[in-house]
Amino acid sequence: MKTIQLKTNINCSGCVEKVTPSLNETFGETNWNVDTADPKKILTVTADNADETNVIKAVERAGYKAGKLD
Nearest Cα to Cα of residue 32 among 11, 14, 48 = 48
Entry pTM? 0.94
pLDDT confidence band for 70 (50 / 70 / 90): confident
The CA distance from 12 to 52, in Å, is 22
Taking only the tens place, the pLDDT of each residue in 13-67 is 999 999 999 999 999 999 999 999 999 999 999 999 999 999 999 999 999 999 9
Q: What is the dihedral of CA 60, 68, 35, 55, to 10 degrees?
A: 40
